[in-house]
Amino acid sequence: MTTIISFIIVLGILIFIHELGHFLAAKASGVGVEKFSLGFGPRLVGIQRGETEYRISLLPLGGYVKMVGEAPGEEITEELRAKSFTHKPLWKRASIVAAGPAMNLVLAVVLMPLIFMIGIQVPVYLEKPAEVGYVAPGEPADRAGIRKGDTVVSVAGKETGNWEELLMGLAMGPGKELEVGFLRDGSRLETTIVPDVSEATGAGYGGVFPPMEPVIGGVAPGFPAMDAGLKPGDRILSVNGAPITHWAELESAIHKSGDKKVIKVARGGEEPSFEITPVYNEEAKAYLVGISRQEEQVTRQYGFVESIQRGVASGVDMTYKLFVVVKGLIVGDYSLKTLGGPIMIAQVAGQAAESGIADLLSLMAFLSLQLGIINLFPIPVLDGGHLVFFGMEAVKGRPLSEKFMAAAQQVGIALLIMLMLLVTYNDLFRIFG
């Protein structure tokens, strides 16, 4: 029930904000609005106020604002001509169309700082001294001579009091030589590290990790680990006979190949073994078995100014990652199987609601940002497609032909139907696959 209610709330707010943008811009431009609908199809409930009917319709996956004279070729009486969308100047029509995505972007901008003020969950280790629990073989920290048990105290001349400051220092210096100070057996030593560049984010990373017990915190449905019988709370002892003392060792042992793994765990005084064959995940570019680490979290709140700074940085990062994913889907780096639809959104919304208000608002901000940006893509039916048509109209100096517009709309509708079928199939495959 939590999942359904959360899904309705999240989707309802996103749709309402989007359509409210169109509605307010239309009213401000003197365009008459006949219907303001949350959902498509037959009306469930509604109320008439002035010229506008406000309604909730049967199909909840969207909404619309029906304006006077909106459809090409629609017959308009002389008295309604002044309120007709089609008869408004081009810039007014464009502003009405752009207002929907703009409102979604505004919602994301408002929510992101609010999330940091309410408080976000962060790993406890970020606030602890940067004591090294594991160094990945062959990675930058290993090449620099850093070992397990060392405590890093400075990066690039700046003192690092905890893991967050260390990771930030490495992230800000991809490919650069950074002087690193660390403590070993009570003595302070210096070395130089050159962080590798992350292909996913462009940030630097050093292949150095805090202590992380190899204890399972979650088992993902539909993955080999659940099928084999692994459970939350299991402590990984070995993989194919090799001892595992750190979570990063476990990831290294699993991610690199799809060969069968014999995983021994400690569970209630026993040490059962499980045979598991990892599956390759296109998005992660690694073999996975479907387990996540047990991790202690703490709520961290920020002041007004820092919340704005972090909110903006988070928005920029999410926007960058969205375009990386879109590019990956186009060029084939990511599989279309990674796309999710309404069922996945409902599941994630339910999980976010159970985690707390900050997680639910984070999901809403993320989806609102996505909705705003994707709606601006130059695809017929989407707002971005209409803006392209307006641009073509401006270049030609006259409206596009009704035949062309109708054909383009049909293409856009067909693409959206295909996309909905694909993501629904993906959702069902993840559940029943």
**Token couple for 166:** 């260390």
Q: What is the pTM of this model?
A: 0.70
State whether residue 109 is helix, strand or coil: helix
- Position 294 scores a pLDDT of 84
**Token couple for 356:** 């707390």
Tokens 């399972």 correspond to what residue? 216
Would you put residue 30 in left (φ > 0), alpha (ψ -120 to 50) or beta?
A: left
Residues found in the chain: 433
What is the C-alpha to C-alpha distance for residues 363 and 353, in angstroms, rounded to an integer? 9
Buried b vs exposed e over 239-270: b needs ≥16 C-beta within 10 Å?
beeeebbbbbbbbebbbeeeeebebbbebeee
State whether residue 80 is helix, strand or coil: coil
Burial class (CB in 10 A: 0-12, 13-18, 19+), 295: middle
Q: Which among 19, 70, 139, 251 is annotated as catalytic?
A: 19
CA angle 70, 76, 80 (to 5 degrees): 90
Tokens 């008439």 correspond to what residue? 48
Our CA dihedral for 152, 158, 163, 166, rounded to 10 degrees, sits at -80
- The residue-averaged pLDDT of 228-240 equals 92
Sign for the CA dihedral angle at 203, 209, 214, 218 comes to negative
State whether residue 276 is helix, strand or coil: strand
**Token couple for 46:** 């509604």
- Position 416 scores a pLDDT of 84
Domain map (residue ranges) of the chain: 2-118+367-432, 124-209, 216-293
Helices 90-118 and 357-374 sit at what angle, rounded to 10 degrees? 160
Looking at 238-382, list the stretches that DSSP marks H as alpha helix, in order from N- to C-terminal side. Answer: 247-255, 304-331, 342-355, 357-374
Q: Is 271 a catalytic residue?
A: no
Helices 357-374 and 304-331 sit at what angle, rounded to 10 degrees? 50
Q: Does domain 216-293 have CATH number 3.40.50.970?
A: no
Which of residues 222 and 51 earns the better pLDDT score?
51
CATH fold match for the domains 124-209 and 216-293: yes
**Token couple for 345:** 């959104």
Is 70 exceeded by the pLDDT of residue 201? Answer: no
What is the C-alpha to C-alpha distance for residues 112 and 126, in angstroms, rounded to an integer? 21
Question: Which residue from 395, 394, 367, 372 is spatially nearest to 384, judged by alpha carbons?
Answer: 372
Q: Which of 19-28, 79-88, 245-254, 422-431 has the lowest mean pLDDT?
A: 422-431
- The residue-averaged pLDDT of 73-80 equals 77
pLDDT in tens, 389-409: 999 989 988 888 888 888 888
Buried b vs exposed e over 365-377: b needs ≥16 C-beta within 10 Å?
bbbbbbbbbbbbe
Cβ-based neighbours of 128, under 8 Å, separated by 6 or more: 162, 163, 210
Q: Which of 176-185, 244-253, 352-361 has the lowest mean pLDDT?
A: 352-361
- Cross-strand bridge partners of residue 310: none
CA angle 404, 407, 410 (to 5 degrees): 150
- Kindly report the CATH class assigned to 124-209: mainly beta
Question: Which residue from 140, 129, 134, 135 is spatially nearest to 183, judged by alpha carbons?
Answer: 129
- The residue-averaged pLDDT of 233-239 equals 93
What is the C-alpha to C-alpha distance for residues 87 and 89, in angstroms, rounded to an integer? 7
Strands (E), 85-174: 120-123, 130-131, 134-135, 151-155, 158-159
Distances (CA, A) of 228 to 18, 151, 213, 276: 45, 38, 21, 6
Q: Which of 158-162, 228-232, 288-292, 297-301 has the lowest mean pLDDT?
A: 297-301
Mean pLDDT score of the chain = 87
pLDDT in tens, 250-293: 988 898 888 899 999 999 889 999 999 998 877 667 889 999 98
**Cβ-based neighbour number of residue 388 at 10 Å:** 16
